[in-house]
């Protein structure tokens, strides 16, 4: 443990309120951060062709496209619309050379209390897009979200569930491990190990930030690494031992950091990555 | 499923801002709710002797005393102080005839990121008070809290962890199942069943309220049953099949309900208990 320092990537959600995609690419590269995760709304503003050129000009690795998923819906038309949208996301991931498409799988359909049913819709949705993902060479990264998002964002709430889905669905599906969502899980070390032992490459991404005490908002109060209580080096050690060889991607949704000078945010990411991750 | 309607109890946290303990006893009994869970700060204001008399006068069952726990601390003196306080809580539980002492086990010690260490401190703390609890005939009800409270309130975040602790610690330790904290857990049905099959009486309490969408505050935005997305009848059915024979205890921390007329709150608890639980 502690031998590997994963290359730094910044998820552009971290500077979402300050920078467009071209600005983020340039701003990250200016401080020699050569990894970025891209959001589809920002990509749509910029256009895939222009984004691809800017990424190449700055030697950027795209550690993920955010996001596919959101599969559960109250009716078949809604579920089909989600599947169609995920197929477009796969094409966009190819367009920017993303190493994976991150899936935030979706919560309960409007008016539903059937959590098990929503979880089945997630499995069915991923299965529906998997042929296209495999053909395109885009791994699908299931991101288990914190249980506080089970109702409205993602009914996949533990890495254990994500591993089960991977076992069921087979090649082409993996996992994005986000410390914010998973740090509390008593099975986290074991399930990261299980992912590492699975056939193929299941550990597709490693997202870092911190859990603040107190956390004042369910959505927009994530902390910079080192400002909270997550033992990030311990979790990184579990990722290392499981054979993960990608980047450490900073993803911070925070009204506080969104109000800061984005160059300072990037500098903070770099400094904390060196010292507390 | 649906054959049993558990007797209604109200946790006095539900009317915490409006009523003292004597007022709550009288207010609940006035609408023929004969179960109450008592908080220690309210009990301290009232005094144990007076509380016991008022409870007897109104024929109230005390479905729990809130709360023991909070075992982890940064040093041995802090951990001993917690154990001493829990021993006093056991005496108070005897004093009011509570059917269990609810344990909110505690989070990370100040400055610590060692979640596994905090969980060991919880186990050690419960083990330390268990002889007194057994001698007093007061079952200890481990209440797993939602993972969003792992850092600052309770590092026991799944019923699976609670079952593991019960297996380790043996007779005299059980579980309080709170739908707010556990509804998202894919293992909930299985772990309730596991608790039901364990020797003795492990299922000690059943707490109900609802998860609102959106949830606007991590602490004080719980919903009245029926206003959110939790399938309470399904979970009640799992409790029935596991052999639970206690009350359904309404526990709502909510600035909205605390601003309401407490008689209306009690009436809402009764109505919702009849229709959506």
- Residue-level pLDDT at B4: 60
Instruction: Give the torsion through C-alpha atoms of B16, B58, B8, B206, to 10 deg.
Output: 70
* Most A-contacting residue of B218, B220, B223 (CB-CB within 10 A), to test interface: B218
Q: Distances from the Cα of B29 to the Cαs of A45, A124, B25, B40, in angstroms? A: 62, 50, 6, 20
- Residue-level pLDDT at A30: 98
A217/chain B closest Cα distance in angstroms: 7
CB distance B7 to B35 below 8 Å? yes
Give the angle B182-B188-B104 at the CA atoms, nearest 5°: 40
Question: A112 and B229: CB-CB below 8 Å?
Answer: yes
Would you call B215 an interface residue with chain A, using a CB distance cutoff of 8 Å? yes
Facing residue for A152 by CB, picked from B146, B150, B214: B214
In sequence order, the 6+-apart residues with CB closer than 8 A to the CB of B257 are B14, B224, B265, B268
Question: B113 and A148: CB-CB below 8 Å?
Answer: no
* CA nearest neighbour of B192 among B230, B235, B157, B232: B235
Chain centre distance of CA B177: 8
pLDDT tens string, chain A, 277 residues long: the values are: 444 689 999 999 999 999 999 999 999 999 999 999 999 999 999 999 999 999 999 999 999 999 999 999 999 999 999 999 999 999 999 999 999 999 999 999 999 999 999 999 999 999 999 999 999 999 999 999 999 999 999 999 999 999 999 999 999 999 999 999 999 999 999 999 999 999 999 999 999 999 999 999 999 999 999 999 999 999 999 999 999 999 999 999 999 999 999 999 999 999 999 999 9
Confidence of residue B262 (pLDDT cuts 50, 70, 90): very high
Instruction: Report domain extents, chain B.
Output: 8-275
The dotted CATH code for B8-275 is 3.20.20.150
Would you call B250 an interface residue with chain A, using a CB distance cutoff of 8 Å? no
Confidence of residue B5 (pLDDT cuts 50, 70, 90): confident
Question: B147 and A152: CB-CB below 8 Å?
Answer: no
Greatest alpha-carbon pair distance for chain B in Å reads 50
Question: B157 and A184: CB-CB below 8 Å?
Answer: yes
Would you call A123 an interface residue with chain B, using a CB distance cutoff of 8 Å? no
Q: What are phi and psi of A19, to 5 degrees?
A: -125, 140
CB distance A130 to B247 below 8 Å? no
Would you call B230 an interface residue with chain A, using a CB distance cutoff of 8 Å? yes
Pairing verdict, β B101-104 and A203-208: unpaired
Give B152's contacts in chain A (Cβ within 8 Å).
213-214
In sequence order, the 6+-apart residues with CB closer than 8 A to the CB of A86 are A68, A69, A71, A101, A103, A125, A129
- Residue-level pLDDT at B1: 40
Six-digit token pair at A271?
């400094």
What is the residue-wise DSSP string for chain A?
A: --S--PPEEEEGGGGTTT--HHHHHHHHHHTT--EEEEEHHHHHHH-HHHHHHHHHHTT-EEEEEEEEE----SSHHHHHHHHHHHHHHHHHHHHHT-S-EEEE-B-PPTT---HHHHHHHHHHHHHHHHHHHHHHT--EEEE---GGGTTTTBS--SHHHHHHHHHHH-TTEEEEEEHHHHTT-TTHHHHHHHHHHSSS--EEEEEE-B--SS---SSSB-B-TTSSS--HHHHHHHHHHTT--S-EEE---BHHHHTS-HHHHHHHHHHHHHHT-
Facing residue for B148 by CB, picked from A148, A151, A228: A148
pLDDT tens sequence across B127-167: 999 999 999 999 999 999 999 999 999 999 999 999 999 99
Question: A186 and B157: CB-CB below 8 Å?
Answer: yes
Burial, A247: exposed, middle or buried (Cβ in 10 Å; 0-12, 13-18, 19+)? buried
Number of Cβ atoms within 10 Å of the Cβ of B264: 10
- Residue-level pLDDT at A5: 82
Radius of gyration of chain B (CA): 18
pTM, two decimals, is 0.97
Residues 181-200 of A with CB under 8 A from B: 183-186
Six-digit token pair at A229?
């209580």
Averaged pLDDT, B4-24: 95
Give A142's contacts in chain B (Cβ within 8 Å).
none
pLDDT tens sequence across B228-251: 999 999 999 999 999 999 999 999
* CA nearest neighbour of A237 among A196, A270, A201, A268: A196
CB distance A247 to A35 below 8 Å? yes
Radius of gyration of chain A (CA): 18
């Amino acid at each position: 443990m502690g031998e590997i320092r994963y290359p730094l990537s910044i998820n552009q959600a971290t500077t979402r309120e300050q920078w467009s995609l071209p600005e983020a690419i340039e701003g990250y590269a200016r401080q020699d951060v050569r990894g970025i995760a891209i959001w589809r709304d920002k990509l749509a503003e910029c256009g895939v062709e222009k984004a691809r050129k800017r990424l190449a000009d700055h030697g950027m690795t795209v550690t993920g496209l955010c996001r596919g998923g959101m599969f559960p819906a109250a009716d078949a038309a809604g579920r089909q619309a989600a599947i169609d949208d995920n197929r477009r996301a796969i094409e966009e991931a190819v367009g920017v050379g993303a190493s994976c498409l991150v899936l935030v799988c979706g919560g309960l359909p409007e008016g539903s209390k059937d959590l098990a049913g929503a979880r089945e819709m997630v499995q069915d949705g991923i299965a529906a897009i998997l042929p296209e993902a495999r053909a395109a060479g885009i791994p699908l990264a299931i991101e288990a979200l914190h249980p506080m998002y089970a109702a409205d964002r993602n009914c996949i709430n533990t890495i254990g569930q994500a591993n089960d889905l991977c076992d069921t669905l087979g090649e082409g599906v993996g996992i994005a491990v986000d410390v914010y969502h998973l740090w509390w899980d008593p099975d986290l070390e074991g399930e990261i190990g299980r992912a590492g032992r699975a056939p193929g490459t299941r550990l597709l991404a490693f997202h870092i930030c911190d859990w603040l005490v107190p956390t004042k908002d369910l959505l927009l109060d994530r902390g910079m690494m080192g400002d909270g209580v997550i033992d990030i080096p311990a979790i990184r050690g579990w990722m290392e031992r499981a054979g993960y060889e990608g980047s450490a991607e900073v993803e911070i949704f925070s009204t506080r950091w969104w109000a800061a000078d984005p160059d300072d945010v990037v500098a903070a990411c770099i400094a904390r990555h060196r010292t507390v991750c």
